[in-house]
Structure 1
Amino acid sequence: MDMSATCGACGKKTQDYPVFCYMCNDYFCSEACHMTKHARPWQKY
């Protein structure tokens, strides 16, 4: 069984416990990659 997930920001595959974001409906290899995806939206306000 393949337990790896692909990072939604950098595309790297990880066997680790990936960060899952229900807003993006995507996995991320690290919190840093996750934040790159979220860097924009709430800086507008």
Structure 2
Amino acid sequence: EDMLPIACQMFAEGKTVAVEHAEPVYLRNNVAWKKLPGKE
């Protein structure tokens, strides 16, 4: 529910992505690999 106002505003401004171009972003995976030994 915290993201709903942001999503509504972006939708109203036409800042949308077609479903066939949508890609998930897994922030946890991007942060976790940096914590592994030898990774930056």
- TM bin, normalised by shorter chain, reads under 0.3
More helix by share: 2
TM superposition score normalised by structure 2: 0.27
Q: Which has the higher contact order (CA 8 A, sep 6+)?
A: 1
More strand by share: 1
Q: Which has the larger radius of gyration?
A: 2
